[in-house]
């Protein structure tokens, strides 16, 4: 601190009060004059006096030199000299410079790219005022293993009332069974569009602290109507306003949303969103009376803003205390939160920072990538250190000469460091450019793989990071040659005729260590990549329960003024038309599209049944409402009983199909066929009476909530029997044609049914699956790329070190050959030397990988971090690559002509 202030002072004093040469010379001249006069006044002869004064005061020229040194910042001059010297010497060795620059640009570029993701997704606070105060309030069902679940309306209202920790609380809703889908049809200009929607109450907007860019937000009255539909009002996102409405004045006008004219109240500022929902349109929250009163409908996502000074821990403590006697506090009973969950429906309340909830599971993967690219950079550093050391070897004479001419050791050290930092800054700039390109490409290729994708970019902190990494890299590999400690070893350098002498083994110690480190880091990366690749392979080969080949799906919504009973014939007409279309073998519709659904957890009455909690209600994870010959079209095998048949619609009794897991859980080995259940239709889909249904069949388990997750319990209900349909359905076609070839026909057929309805997400089921595992796939691809890079760099490094080690043993090898050693034993000698290093590296790397187990375990599926097959494959790959890298220098050494080798000096 003091040193820094001293420097600032000196810098300011130097720059502000800089005196010119003539000024200084004048002062010295006057000093001499006075000294001469003084001497004369003491009785000296004039000529003698001048000499005496000069002897006493010293030479003006020397004083001037000292003054100039003091005046300038000597290190600045030295730096300028170092830089120009460095530039010249780098220019003279273009191959070295190019290789070093490329290595650096790749290493720094990859690091900067990943850091820009770390920064944009994890580090940068959310774009709300005081974002650290925002907490997501969720319910947790420990018995069902559900986390981050929404609250019931009553819970939300009670929580808002009784808590003391939060300054404001609000709620929103995006999905809730098939009743709302988080999307609406928007008719504007060109035709029907389907856009992401969110239903919010006024409390949410004030909790978040958002202000509209234009117009106004909802009032509390507009978002708290009980019963009926929400008022036809809407706020649209800035992005939608620009893209669809061209930024034209819109506030106060009406727009067709789901068949109703909505008044546009306002436009949100650019980038405003909730929980990474990609919201395009904001609607007022409307809650039908049935949903509002029923405590078992968990449909509201709740966000609270902590009061100033209240910590999340304190708020959670308060919440726990509230949950302790929630029933008494709120005069409510039944499905209330509890701290001691014993039954399936028992749940507790939890808060977590909104930012953590947004980033969620992605955090670990992103940090993992950062560690991986960090390794790549370390390998790059090791390689460059190697290169620099080889270069230092060849420059020992130059340094020795300069040292002999008076350059101090620290001066020479600074010279190599300057070159290192220069390389790094240039490499860093190249890397920054690479990172920009890579991040753009990544965002374009995987727009939804990472939360907060739109916030990823190169900002000041990323720039600082890149600069910091560049300089640290430069210092790191610039220092390495010094570890050899030979720089000022003048005598040795002059005496040793060249670099072909029998050099001491000690000098190679550093370079050998670098090879070991490179190999070890590469081993860890390749193991990580191998495990991830296995994971992706396992995920793609999971039996999802249906035949997903030649299956095409799309989604559509028939909004108001359709009623459930007018929708059914419309969907029916469409399915009939589709079945008649060329190339279509079968057509059906379903409410939820596997394998990406979130569990609905609907309490369902089951006849003659006592659940683990003593009630006659089983929480069913998924309801699937289906139309047409669903099981045949999807290729879901019926393992017992039968599937739905057209004749069912006419018969008075209603049937349901259950999946194997539900059958096992409820009837435990007894025959489920003929048992009765009472599907909670109003909770699941918002219409229909809750009458008794008979189980007519058991379907094979279908992965609804993710291929890597456990299969939940599932109930199939036939909409054909109910003669009603949900607003949004997923149509599925068994067809030999690809989606692109079908799109024209599909659009025409849908238009024939309703011209205002858009087709969305038309794709084949394979892509739906690929999409569902996009994150592990992306992780595997990136990690694979980094591992490949690491492998390449490590191979180059091993090759480089081994070549120069072999070159330095040239004389020895020459003698061996001259004395009759055969070529293959020379080959073996050098290869052995390299493989020894590799094996040490592999062992160290395996140990390191074991240490990093915990980091990777949670992103793996169906493979252990210590999977012996993967480890063996990795060890083999590395050894093969290393053998390749060793073989070339060894082969060259074995081809040595002893005559040439021995005469070289």
Partner 1 sequence: MSNRTTAKADVLQGTLDLMVLQTLNSLGPLHGYAIAARLEQVSRGALQLNMGTLYPALMRLEQRGLLRGNWGTTETNRKARFYAATSAGRRQLAREKDAWDRMAGIIHTVLHGEV
18 or 397: CB nearest partner 1: 18
Site for partner 1 in 400-429 (CB under 8 A): 408, 410-411
Nearer to partner 1, 11 or 580 (CB): 11
Q: Which helix (H) or strand (E) holds 898?
A: helix 898-903
CA distances to 194, 719, 726 from 563, rounded to whole Å, are 20, 14, 9
The kind and range of the H/E element at 854 are helix 853-857
Decide whether 9 or 895 has the Cβ nearer to partner 1. Answer: 9
Choose the stretch contacting partner 1; rule: CB under 8 A; options: 16-24, 118-126, 255-263, 825-833. Answer: 16-24
Q: Which two tokens stand for residue 444?
A: 């374009």
Contacting partner 1 within 350-409 (CB under 8 A) = 408
Can you name the residues that pair with 640 across neighbouring β-strands?
698
Query: Which residue bears the tokens 């489920």?
Result: 672
- Between 7 and 509, whose beta carbon lies closer to partner 1? 7
Q: Binder to partner 1 among 30, 580, 876, 904 (CB under 8 A)?
A: 30
Among 4, 22, 46, 62, the residue binding partner 1 under the rule CB under 8 A is 62
Q: Indicate which single residue of 21, 45, 48, 69 sits in contact with partner 1 (rule: CB under 8 A).
A: 69
Which of 59, 229, 321, 585 is close enough to bind partner 1 by CB under 8 A?
59
User: What are the backbone angles phi and psi of residue 591, rounded to the nearest 5°?
Assistant: -75, -40
Residue 200 or 417: which CB sits closer to partner 1?
A: 417
Stretch that binds partner 1, among 14-22, 152-160, 465-473, 512-520 (CB under 8 A): 14-22
Distance CA 377, CA 383 (A): 10
Among 48, 51, 75, 569, binds partner 1 (CB under 8 A): 75
d(CA 493, CA 487): 9
SS3 state at 35: helix
Q: Which of 9, 51, 130, 397 binds partner 1 (CB under 8 A)?
A: 9
579 binds partner 1 (CB under 8 A): no
Identify which range of 28-36, 363-371, 479-487, 526-534 contacts partner 1 by CB under 8 A. Answer: 28-36
Rounded Cα distance between 891 and 215, Å, is 77
Q: Is residue 823 a contact point for partner 1 (CB under 8 A)?
A: no
Strand partners, 306: 166
Shortest Cβ 49–partner 1 spacing (Å): 14
For residues 373 and 117, is the Cβ–Cβ distance under 8 A? no
The single residue among 45, 48, 51, 58 that binds partner 1, judged by CB under 8 A, is 58
Are residues 400 and 494 in contact, defined by beta-carbon separation less than 8 angstroms?
A: yes
- Residue from the set 44, 71, 196, 343 that interacts with partner 1 by CB under 8 A: 71
What is the rounded distance in angstroms from the CA atom of residue 267 to the CA atom of residue 281? 9
DSSP assignment of 558-619, as one string?
--TT--HHHHHHHHHHHHHHHHHSTTEEEEEEESS-TTSPPP--EEEEETT---TTSSSEEE
Q: Using the rule CB under 8 A, is 24 a contact of partner 1?
A: yes
- Nearest distance in Å: CB 25, partner 1: 11
3-state secondary structure at position 821: coil
User: Using CA atoms, how far apart are residues 621 and 615, in angstroms rounded to an integer?
Assistant: 17
Positive or negative, the CA dihedral 164, 166, 169, 175 is: negative
CB of 10 to partner 1, least distance (A): 5
The least distance separating partner 1 from the CB of residue 468, rounded to whole angstroms, comes to 24
Does 17 engage in binding with partner 1 (CB under 8 A)? yes
Stretch that binds partner 1, among 7-15, 507-515, 810-818, 867-875 (CB under 8 A): 7-15
Query: What is the Cα–Cα distance from 575 to 730, expressed in whole angstroms?
Result: 11
Q: Does 76 bind partner 1 (CB under 8 A)?
A: no
Instruction: Tell me: does residue 145 bind partner 1 (CB under 8 A).
Output: no
Binding residue for partner 1 (CB under 8 A) from 21, 51, 74, 164?
Answer: 74
**Nearest distance in Å: CB 21, partner 1:** 13
| DSSP single-letter state for residue 273 | -
Stretch that binds partner 1, among 8-16, 95-103, 515-523, 852-860 (CB under 8 A): 8-16
Q: How far apart are the C-alpha atoms of 662 and 679, rounded to whole Å? A: 13
Torsion on CA atoms 214, 215, 220, 226, rounded to nearest 10: -110
Joined tokens for residue 245 = 């409405």
Site string for partner 1, 296-335 (x = CB under 8 A): ----------------------------------------
- Three-state SS at 170: strand
Q: Which is nearer to partner 1, 75 or 494 (CB)?
A: 75
> Per CB under 8 A, does 31 bind partner 1?
yes
Among 40, 44, 50, 67, binds partner 1 (CB under 8 A): 67
Task: Give the range of 31-39, 488-496, 757-765, 871-879 binding partner 1 by CB under 8 A.
Answer: 31-39
Q: How far apart are CA 95 and CA 107, in angstroms?
A: 18
Q: Using the rule CB under 8 A, which residue among 51, 56, 216, 832 binds partner 1?
A: 56
Please, which residues have CB within 8 angstroms of residue 663's CB and are 6 or more apart in sequence? Answer: 640, 672, 695, 698
**What span, in angstroms and rounded, lies between the C-alpha atoms of 133 and 308?**
8
What is the nearest approach in angstroms of partner 1 to the Cβ of residue 73?
A: 9
Nearer to partner 1, 19 or 81 (CB): 19
Residue 424 contacts residue 473 (beta carbons within 8 Å)? yes
The window from 33-41, 216-224, 499-507, 589-597 that contacts partner 1 (CB under 8 A) reads: 33-41
Q: By C-beta, is 18 or 823 nearer to partner 1?
A: 18
The yes or no reply on residue 66 touching partner 1 (CB under 8 A) is yes
Q: ∠ at Cα 167 (165, 173), nearest 5°?
A: 100
Considering the complex, state which of residue 57 and residue 640 has its C-beta at the smaller distance from partner 1: 57
Among 50, 57, 472, 475, binds partner 1 (CB under 8 A): 57
Of 6 and 356, which has the nearer Cβ to partner 1?
6
Nearest distance from C-beta of residue 424 to partner 1, angstroms: 24
Is the CB of 482 or the CB of 575 nearer to partner 1? Answer: 482
Under rule CB under 8 A, residue 668 binds partner 1:
no
- In order of 26, 39, 616, the CA distances from 51 in angstroms are 19, 10, 118
Between 36 and 55, how does the x/- string for binding to partner 1 read (CB under 8 A)?
A: --x-----------------
Q: What are phi and psi of 383, to 5 degrees?
A: -60, -45
Number of residues that bind partner 1 (CB under 8 A): 37
Nearer to partner 1, 34 or 441 (CB): 34
Interhelix angle for 774-808 vs 810-818, to 10°? Answer: 60
14 interacts with partner 1 by CB under 8 A: yes
Scanning 56-64, 176-184, 602-610, 708-716 for contacts with partner 1 by CB under 8 A, the matching segment is 56-64
Whole-angstrom CA distances from 384 to 111, 548, 883 are: 17, 50, 21
Between CA 296 and CA 299 the distance in angstroms is: 9
Nearer to partner 1, 12 or 162 (CB): 12
Tokens of 374: 């960090």
User: Cα separation of 42 and 306, whole Å?
Assistant: 87
Cβ count within 10 A of residue 432: 23
By the rule CB under 8 A, 740 interacts with partner 1: no
Helices (H), 484-586: 490-495, 509-540, 564-580
For partner 1, the closer of residues 19 and 216 by Cβ is 19
Q: Which residues form the interface with partner 1 (CB under 8 A)?
A: 6, 9-10, 12-14, 17, 19, 24, 26-28, 30-35, 38, 56-60, 62-63, 65-67, 69-71, 74-75, 408, 410-411
């Amino acid at each position: 601190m003091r040193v820094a202030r001293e420097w600032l002072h000196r810098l300011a004093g130097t720059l502000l009060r800089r005196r010119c040469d003539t000024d200084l010379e004048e002062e010295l001249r006057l000093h001499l004059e006075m000294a001469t006069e003084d001497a004369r006044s003491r009785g000296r002869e004039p000529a003698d006096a001048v000499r005496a004064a000069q002897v006493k005061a010293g030479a003006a020229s020397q004083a001037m030199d000292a003054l100039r040194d003091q005046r300038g910042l000597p290190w600045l001059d030295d730096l300028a000299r170092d830089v120009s010297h460095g530039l010249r010497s780098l220019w003279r060795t273009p191959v070295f410079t190019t290789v070093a620059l490329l290595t650096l640009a790749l290493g720094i570029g990859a690091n900067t790219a990943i850091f820009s993701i770390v920064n944009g997704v994890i580090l940068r606070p959310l774009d709300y005022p005081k974002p650290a105060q925002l907490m997501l309030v969720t319910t947790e069902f420990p018995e069902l293993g559900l986390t981050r679940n929404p609250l019931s309306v009553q819970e939300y209202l009670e929580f808002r009332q009784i808590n003391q920790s939060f300054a404001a609380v609000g709620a929103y809703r995006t999905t809730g069974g098939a009743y709302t889908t988080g999307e609406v049809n928007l008719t504007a200009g060109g035709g029907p569009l389907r856009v992401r929607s969110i239903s919010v109450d006024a409390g949410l907007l004030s909790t978040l602290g958002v202000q509209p860019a234009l117009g106004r937000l909802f009032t509390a009255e507009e978002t708290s109507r009980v019963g009926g539909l929400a008022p036809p009002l809407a706020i649209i996102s800035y992005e939608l306003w620009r893209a669809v409405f061209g930024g034209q004045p819109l506030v106060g006008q009406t727009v067709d949303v789901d068949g109703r004219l909505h008044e546009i109240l306002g436009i949100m500022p650019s980038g405003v969103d909730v929980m990474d929902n990609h919201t395009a349109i904001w609607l007022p929250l409307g809650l039908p009376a049935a949903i509002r009163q029923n405590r078992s409908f968990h449909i509201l996502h709740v966000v609270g803003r902590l009061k100033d000074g209240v910590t999340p821990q304190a708020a959670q403590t308060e919440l726990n205390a509230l949950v302790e006697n929630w029933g008494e506090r709120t005069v409510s009973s039944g499905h209330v939160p509890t701290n001691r969950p014993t039954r399936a429906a028992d749940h507790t309340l939890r808060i977590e920072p909104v930012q953590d909830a947004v980033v969620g599971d992605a955090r670990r993967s992103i940090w993992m990538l950062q560690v991986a690219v960090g390794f790549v950079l370390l390998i790059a550093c090791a390689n460059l250190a190697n290169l620099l050391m080889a270069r230092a070897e060849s420059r020992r004479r130059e340094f020795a000469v300069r040292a002999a001419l008076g350059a101090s050791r620290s001066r020479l050290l600074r010279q190599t460091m300057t070159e290192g930092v220069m390389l790094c800054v240039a490499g860093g700039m190249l890397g920054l450019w690479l990172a920009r390109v890579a991040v753009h490409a990544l965002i374009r290729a995987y727009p939804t793989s990472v939360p907060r994708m739109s916030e990823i970019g190169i900002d000041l902190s990323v720039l600082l990071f890149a600069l910091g990494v560049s300089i640290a890299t430069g210092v790191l590999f610039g220092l390495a040659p010094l570890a050899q400690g030979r720089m000022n070893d003048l005598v040795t350098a002059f005496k040793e005729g060249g670099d072909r002498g029998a050099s001491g083994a000690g000098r190679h110690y550093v370079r050998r260590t670098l090879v070991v480190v490179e190999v070890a880091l590469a081993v860890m990366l390749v193991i990580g990549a191998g495990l991830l690749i296995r994971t992706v392979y396992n995920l793609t080969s999971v039996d999802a329960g249906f035949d997903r080949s030649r299956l095409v799906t799309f989604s559509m919504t028939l909004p108001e003024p359709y009623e459930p009973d007018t929708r059914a014939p419309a969907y029916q007409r469409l399915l009939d038309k589709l079945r008649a279309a060329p190339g279509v073998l079968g057509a059906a519709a379903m409410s939820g599209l596997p394998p990406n659904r979130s569990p609905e957890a609907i309490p369902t009455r089951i006849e003659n049944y006592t659940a683990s909690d003593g009630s006659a209600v089983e929480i069913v994870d998924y309801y699937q409402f289906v139309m047409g010959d669903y099981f045949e079209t999807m290729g879901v095998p019926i393992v017992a009983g039968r599937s739905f048949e057209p004749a069912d619609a006419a018969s008075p009794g209603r049937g349901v199909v259950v999946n194997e897991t539900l059958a096992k859980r409820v009837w435990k080995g007894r025959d489920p066929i003929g048992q009765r259940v009472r599907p909670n239709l109003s909770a699941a889909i918002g219409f229909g009476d809750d009458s008794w249904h008979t189980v007519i069949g058991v379907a094979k388990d279908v992965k609804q909530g993710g291929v890597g997750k456990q299969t939940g319990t599932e109930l199939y209900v036939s909409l054909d029997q109910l003669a009603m349909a949900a607003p949004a359905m997923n149509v599925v076609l068994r067809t030999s044609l690809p989606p692109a070839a079908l799109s024209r026909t599909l659009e025409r057929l849908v238009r024939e049914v309703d011209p205002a309805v858009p087709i969305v997400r038309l794709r084949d089921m394979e892509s739906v699956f690929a999409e569902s595992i996009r994150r592990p796939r992306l992780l595997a691809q990136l990690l694979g790329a980094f591992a490949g890079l690491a492998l390449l760099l490590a191979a180059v490094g091993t090759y480089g070190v081994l070549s120069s080690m072999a070159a330095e043993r040239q004389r020895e090898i020459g003698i061996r050959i001259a004395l009759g050693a055969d070529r293959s034993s020379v080959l073996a000698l050098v290869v052995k030397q390299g493989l020894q290093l590799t094996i040490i590296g592999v062992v160290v790397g395996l140990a390191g990988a074991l240490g990093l187990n915990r980091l990777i375990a949670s992103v793996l599926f169906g493979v252990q971090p210590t999977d012996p097959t993967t480890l063996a494959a990795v060890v083999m790959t590395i050894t093969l690559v290393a053998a390749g890298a060793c073989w070339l220098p060894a082969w060259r050494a074995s081809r040595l002509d002893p005559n040439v080798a021995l005469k070289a000096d």
